């Protein structure tokens, strides 16, 4: 959502009732497509790399990502659905992508993303130099953004069969959620 006021913060929060219908539609659309999509397997032992893809639907099962660091880079108009519990996510240079992930046991780093939609649960989230992205998050530490513009935040809204089991195994404290307490490092309060 764009703003004409230059002093307004770069991010906006949305309550459950006000969440963008576009994101909800994209998530529902992706779940419908996944019911007929073959699974993608990873060949890396401790790391999963997804790079240089265009217009693909990529699905990971828990065995593909559990306890692994996942790197997603240089994707254009791709959709990724990742069940299970990755250790960390490193996301860079995405355009027009939808990324839906089960609970990540540690951190998620996002850099240089444009017009993307993310549904993530994690301990820490850091977003840099990204624009026009929607974030549906459950996070146990305050999310940090820097050099971001027109990004929106709302509660994590992903449901799938093994979600509760994944949450328990991830170690995330589900009672703690800072989805709407975003720290914008470009809008620091000057010291007195």
CATH number at residue 158: 2.160.20.70
Beta bridge partners of 114: 95, 131
pLDDT at 103 over 80: yes
**Residue 119 phi/psi, 5° resolution?**
-125, 110
Q: Is residue 41 part of a domain?
A: yes
Number of domains in the chain: 1
Domain with 30, as residue range(s), is 11-184
Of 15 and 56, more confident: 56
CB atoms within 10 A of CB 89: 24
Tokens of 101: 């992930």
Of 37 and 155, more confident: 155
pLDDT at 171 over 50: yes
Q: Is residue 18 part of a domain?
A: yes
**Residue 35 phi/psi, 5° resolution?**
-65, -15
**Is the C-alpha dihedral spanning 169, 174, 179, 181 positive or negative?**
negative
3-state secondary structure of 80: strand
pTM (two decimals): 0.77
Q: Is residue 150 part of a domain?
A: yes
Banded model confidence at residue 97, pLDDT cuts 50, 70, 90: very high
Q: Is residue 33 part of a domain?
A: yes
Beta bridge partners of 149: 131
Helix, strand, coil shares, percent, the chain, to 5: 15, 40, 45
Banded model confidence at residue 185, pLDDT cuts 50, 70, 90: confident
For residues 133 and 118, is the Cβ–Cβ distance under 8 A? yes
């Amino acid at each position: 959502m764009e703003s004409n006021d230059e002093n307004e913060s770069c991010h906006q929060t949305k309550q459950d009732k006000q969440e963008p219908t576009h994101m909800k539609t994209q998530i529902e659309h992706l779940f419908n497509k996944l019911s007929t999509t073959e699974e993608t397997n990873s060949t890396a032992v401790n790391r999963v790399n997804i790079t240089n893809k265009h217009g693909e639907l990529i699905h990971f099962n828990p065995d593909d990502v559990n306890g692994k660091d996942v790197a997603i880079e240089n994707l254009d108009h791709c959709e990724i659905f990742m069940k299970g519990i990755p250790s960390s996510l490193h996301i860079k240079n995405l355009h027009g992508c939808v990324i839906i992930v089960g609970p990540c046991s540690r951190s998620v780093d996002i850099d240089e993303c444009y017009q993307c939609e993310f549904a993530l649960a994690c301990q820490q989230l850091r977003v840099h130099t990204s624009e026009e992205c929607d974030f549906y998050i459950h996070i146990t530490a305050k999310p940090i953004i820097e050099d971001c513009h027109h990004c929106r935040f709302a509660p994590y809204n992903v449901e799938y069969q093994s979600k509760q089991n994944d949450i328990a195994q991830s170690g995330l404290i589900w009672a703690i959620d800072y989805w709407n307490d975003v720290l914008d490092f470009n809008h620091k309060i000057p010291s007195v």
